[in-house]
Amino acid sequence: MMTQYLALKAEAGDCMLFYRMGDFFELFFDDAKQAAQILDIALTSRGEHLGVPIPMCGVPVHSAEGYLARLIKAGCRVAIAEQIESPEQAKTRGGSKALVARDIVRFVTAGTLTEEALLEPRRANLLVALCAVRGQIGIAACDISTGRMELEECSADRVGAALARLGASEVVAPEDWTDAPLDAIARPARDFASDKGEAGLKEIHGVGTLDGFGLFTRAMLAAAGGLVAYLHHVGRGKLPLLLPPVARAREAHLAMDEATRASLEILVASGGTRRGSLVEAVDRCVTGAGARQLADDLSAPLTDRKGIEERLALVAWLHDDALLRGDLRAVLRGLPDLGRALGRIVAGRGSPRDLGQLRDGLSEARRIHDHLAKTADRPDLLEALLPYLTGHGALTDLYARALVPSPPTERGQGGYIAEGYDAALDELRRISGDARRAIAALEAKYRDQTGIAALKVRHNGVLGYFIEVPAGRADALMAPDSGFTHRQTMAGAVRFNALALHEEASRIAEAGGHALAAEESHFEDLVARAVAARHAIAATAQALARIDVAAGQAERAAEGGWCRPAIVDEAVLDIEGGRHPVVEAALAAGGRGGGDRFVANDCHLIPQDRLWLVGGPNMGGKSTFLRQNALIVLLAQAGGFVPAARATVGLVDRLFSRVGASDNLARGRSTFMVEMVETAAILAQASERSFVILDEVGRGTSTYDGLALAWAVVEAVHGSNRCRCLFATHYHELTRLAQSCEALSLHHVRAREWKGELVLLHEVADGPADRSYGLAVAKLAGVPAPVVARARAVLDRLEKTRAESGGLAAGLGDLPLFAAAMEHQEEVVDALRERLFALDIDALTPREAIDLLYELKREAQSLS
């Protein structure tokens, strides 16, 4: 057996091996040690290998999914080695001592899950393949639980942003790609060939060309090739559900880098969980598919005004009709997860219950269609979705006749095909039922015949049916003429057989076996019907998810008093009464302040006033104000209502957020280094159509360095990037920029000191802040009174010194935009000019002339 196990383990590679032995999956050697620790199960041993006991642990087959879920969550990958023949077949093949043949039937990895118990209902589970082709990175992403597949291409510096958007559970990349993500699984480079990818997609979808699906670059197709090859590998040649690929156009979606996504906590909060994230505050979907679609919308908001308006119109239509919305959500709430049930069926892991979910889901889709089709003034998006909710009548009628109302999750015991669907199956069941009643009658007869009231007719998987009596009453049945045959002696009981019992048991076994075979045949036929209709069923699932998102957005808007944003092409952001959806929800729930009311604020950014400099104390609400406006932009372009009294949002191409302190020590970056890297990305990429929020730039270094950096960044954002920007700062000296930057205005979050205590008003007002209230905040935070008093004395001395010297920013107000750089260049040019005028060319030797030319060239290069 160990020879067989070791051969399979070698094939499994770095995956744990679940080795099937009867009713258990066993693990050995290091796999057993690791699994026992993760699963908190007993570690035992079995035999020896090279003179050392073999560590061993195991999990029951019937509950293996729960253990697999824990192993996958812990970062493990598992190979499943099943018995591919029965013990009887093994004996027929090789005698009584023949080993049952086993083979790896599947690899279970984080990105290739389809089982309901292993997946989070409200989160997509993406497998991503990456590869580089001619300087571009191809990305293929697929959620095999629903079949959705997306291809895109980006530059190398934007891979991190793409992976942050996708939130992949597993990433694969060529083994020879040195720039692959550190956590990527290395796969053979030959798998990532664009021609193989193209051929594979054509074969999967049965087409001669991919033009009907979209335009795909060689990098996209190469990544698709690697993804399909990996799916072949983990499925042992059987592919899961794969829908036609969609080419993702980068310019069609609001671009956000990795830092911005983390800062805005779109899908995951800072603690690494969904709780406290934007999606948790917004999500009112009643289906898992709807929740997954909403998360995708928030991860990739649109930049196409028409698409945004179509989504908004459907939300508004449902928002305005509360009765219709309530009825619709009640039906949606009872829907099964059609897409994932279909995914399991196509992958060959489906159950009768999954077929029942298709029946119920498609029937309810038709019901929703009929209800919505009766309404008036339907928005365009709904008109486009309605046809996908119908057209499955023949399939649902078939499933309604074929399946029992509540099919089981396992098909091994049968009982899922409805009575009346197959007359021959009904007859086999009748025969089996009659035989069972006959056995009950035999039990009563044997009791009367023997006078043993405790006599029982029992059944188990080894002996089949047998007669069991207490050990003290067994002698009478041992007699040769008793009509009973001894089979087994137990500690307190003795077991027998009898001719009549054997005959009835044979009838049951024969009828039961034929019945199970008949049900299995029907199951395969029903599965084939679903596979043939997979694209239409998947389209229905996607349409239902989109309707659920719209209804959920409408419900959230009605619940929170949110408004429909006006989407315009002009570079404006005009918000009245804007609120932060997550903070407002936390306050309402009493999470911060015991149910306090959120203070709404306005934001009016227009081309003539596109840069706001926001001052005020810590804890005053600057960061919240910055983030809430970014989230309002994101929500609006995702096609939803926004937490505001009124909002006009000019389309944003890129959204940047540099808010909060963080570090990346693993990559050798301090907090300040991370801040500068993120700021550099903004200055390099933000366009006139971008929206940027910047908080406390320059605070991670010395006062003079920090002020200088903040000053220069504000000038660059204003003069070069010319984007809409909210810039929060404690550097009061920056207010002088309002004199030289015509599109910059000054604002502050209000605070007051009352009887020595700081009162934070969380209101954004016009004009500069009068001071930072840093000492008051320190006192509020519990800094000891003597320390605060000493700080106040030091502050008084510093302010006096600064006043006497003209202030920290003395002279900066007269500094033209980029004047420092220009003055430096002018100084170098003047020096070069003077040296050239002073040269006595005739007195230079050839060698001196060459050296001088090189020197002048170096100085000239310093100007560029």
DSSP state for residue 495 in the 8-state scheme: E
Query: How far is it, in rounded angstroms, from Cα 239 to Cα 127?
Result: 14
Does 269 reside within a domain? no
What is residue 772's predicted lDDT score, i.e. its pLDDT?
66
Burial 577-601 (b: 16+ CB within 10 A, else e): ebbbbbbbbbbeeeeeeeeeebbbb
The residue behind tokens 């000296």 is 733
What is residue 856's predicted lDDT score, i.e. its pLDDT?
78
State whether 341 and 304 are in the same domain. Answer: yes
Q: What is the mean pLDDT of the chain?
A: 89
What is residue 802's predicted lDDT score, i.e. its pLDDT?
67
Q: Is the pLDDT of residue 805 over 80?
A: no
State whether 93 and 214 are in the same domain. Answer: no
pLDDT tens readout for residues 714-724: 999 999 999 99
**Cβ atoms of 751 and 620 closer than 8 Å:** yes
- Averaged pLDDT, 34-41: 95
- Averaged pLDDT, 835-857: 80
What is residue 593's predicted lDDT score, i.e. its pLDDT?
45
What is residue 665's predicted lDDT score, i.e. its pLDDT?
47
Query: How far is it, in rounded angstroms, from Cα 128 to Cα 167?
Result: 9
Does 262 reside within a domain? no
State whether 434 and 499 are in the same domain. Answer: yes
Highest mean pLDDT among 507-516, 637-646, 674-683: 637-646
The residue behind tokens 């045959």 is 485
pLDDT tens readout for residues 226-284: 999 999 999 998 999 999 999 998 889 999 999 999 999 999 998 889 999 999 999 99
pLDDT tens readout for residues 352-371: 999 999 999 999 999 999 99
What is residue 812's predicted lDDT score, i.e. its pLDDT?
59
- Averaged pLDDT, 5-20: 94
What is residue 826's predicted lDDT score, i.e. its pLDDT?
62
SS3 for 771-783 is: CCCHHHHHHHCCC
| Three-state DSSP state, 737 | helix
State whether 163 and 33 are in the same domain. Answer: no
State whether 543 and 481 are in the same domain. Answer: no
State whether 224 and 122 are in the same domain. Answer: yes
State whether 312 and 347 are in the same domain. Answer: yes
pLDDT tens readout for residues 593-611: 445 789 999 999 999 999 9
What is residue 98's predicted lDDT score, i.e. its pLDDT?
82
Does 519 reside within a domain? no
CB atoms within 10 A of CB 306: 9
Q: Is the pLDDT of residue 811 over 70?
A: no
Query: How far is it, in rounded angstroms, from Cα 294 to Cα 281?
Result: 12
> pLDDT-based confidence at 755, cuts 50/70/90?
low
> pLDDT-based confidence at 661, cuts 50/70/90?
low
Which residue, of 524, 541, 560, is where some domain finishes? 560
Does 275 reside within a domain? no
Any idea how long the chain is? Answer: 864
What is residue 669's predicted lDDT score, i.e. its pLDDT?
59
What is residue 619's predicted lDDT score, i.e. its pLDDT?
77
Query: How far is it, in rounded angstroms, from Cα 491 to Cα 746?
Result: 92
State whether 588 and 686 are in the same domain. Answer: yes
State whether 684 and 615 are in the same domain. Answer: yes
pLDDT tens readout for residues 558-579: 999 999 999 999 999 999 999 9
State whether 308 and 366 are in the same domain. Answer: yes
Distance of CA 725 to the CA centre of its chain: 30
Does 191 reside within a domain? yes
CB atoms within 10 A of CB 248: 19
pLDDT tens readout for residues 160-191: 999 999 999 999 999 999 999 988 999 999 99
What is residue 809's predicted lDDT score, i.e. its pLDDT?
62
> pLDDT-based confidence at 820, cuts 50/70/90?
very low
**Cβ atoms of 725 and 694 closer than 8 Å:** yes
- Averaged pLDDT, 643-660: 94
- Averaged pLDDT, 417-437: 88
Does 278 reside within a domain? no
**Residue 462: which CATH number?**
1.10.1420.10
Q: Is the pLDDT of residue 215 over 60?
A: yes
Instruction: Tell me the residue range of the domain where 64 lies.
Output: 2-108
> pLDDT-based confidence at 47, cuts 50/70/90?
confident
State whether 731 and 807 are in the same domain. Answer: yes
> pLDDT-based confidence at 810, cuts 50/70/90?
low
> pLDDT-based confidence at 666, cuts 50/70/90?
very low
Domains in the chain, number: 6
SS3 for 698-723 is: CCCCCHHHHHHHHHHHHHHHHHHHCC
- Averaged pLDDT, 438-445: 88
